[in-house]
Amino acid sequence: MRTTIKISATLAAAAALTLGLSACSAPSDSSSAGRSEKHGKDADPNATLVIAASPTPHGDILNFVRDHLAAKAGLKLQVKELNDYNLPNTATQSGDVDGNFFQHKPYLDDFNKKNKTDIVPVVNVEIEPLGLYSKKVRKTTELGDGATIAVPNDATNEGRALKLLADNGVIKLKDGVGSNATLSDIQDNKGIKFTELEASQIPARLADVDAAVINGNFAIGAKLNPAKDSIALEKAENNPYANFLAVKRGNESDPRIVKLAKLLNSDEVKKFIEDKFNGAVLPAFGPVKN
């Protein structure tokens, strides 16, 4: 029999929302004061481009572009770091920011469907392999009857997490569900109990469970190296979870977005990712596949 523990995160979500809205509101500094009121191809190419991003690795990559590449390309770039999975898309849809960089396509597709938004990907940049981590066991075969595993509670990342566990023999899923799996699709849980948490909260709760599936950006932020510290890790080859630059539909042709997309797929950014993250984040340049 499977036991599922739902964790309420109302207070944490409220705090994140308050902080996020503060971060997304237009500050009085000159960088935001120069933002363009026009969009798409008619946007002012000299106005400041404001991009929302998760701090690591997305903010790190954007800050590198801002500090080392943007000026030469004639781009004024401002980075808004938000440690939340909903606010970047909400702010992009409302126009509080010009775009975002934090998500993969399965997540965006699900967000657009649920929220009736029309945000679209522009260009792939990198992949952060999802990993299983533990402070109590050293290998997946030690996880069995009575063990607890934390998984992300959003639809796309939970399915991705369950597929990782199934691929590594921790659980068995119904045939054919793949990364669309939910907890109800577990055919054999081997006595394991699951704790569903917001993805950003999981690293802080790692010591409270026997193991946890953690998104790459949050793992890195918690000083975990997916390549070295995980006991199971997604394969990067043919991985559909590349993270990309995204904008509200119609703004793909904004000349500033075009410049940023080119910079994010540059040799300089490729070297930065490889040197900075030592295999924990991998370059994944090119167009986003439908």
Give helix then strand counts, H and E, for the chain.
10, 14
Domains 12-129+239-285 and 130-233 share a fold: yes
How is the chain split into domains, by residue range? 12-129+239-285, 130-233
Give 135-175 as a DSSP string: SS-SSGGG--TT-EEEEE-SHHHHHHHHHHHHHTTSSEEPT
Q: Give 130-233's CATH code, choosing from 3.40.190.10, 3.40.109.10, 3.50.50.60, 3.40.1190.20.
A: 3.40.190.10
CB 238 within 8 A of CB 160: no
Map tokens 């055919």 to a residue.
Answer: 187
**In 3D, which of 118, 116, 121, 110 has the Cα closest to residue 85?**
110
* CATH superfamily of the domain spanning 12-129+239-285: Periplasmic binding protein-like II (3.40.190.10)
CB 61 within 8 A of CB 108: no
Could you tell me the pTM of the whole model?
0.73
Q: What is the pLDDT along the chain (290 residues), one digit of tens a residue?
A: 333 333 333 334 333 433 343 333 333 333 444 556 667 777 898 999 999 999 999 999 999 999 999 999 999 999 999 988 889 999 999 999 999 999 999 999 999 999 999 999 999 999 988 999 999 999 999 999 999 999 999 988 999 999 999 999 999 999 999 888 999 999 999 999 999 999 999 999 999 999 999 998 899 889 998 889 999 999 877 788 899 999 999 999 999 999 999 999 999 999 999 999 988 898 999 999 87
CB 280 within 8 A of CB 227: yes
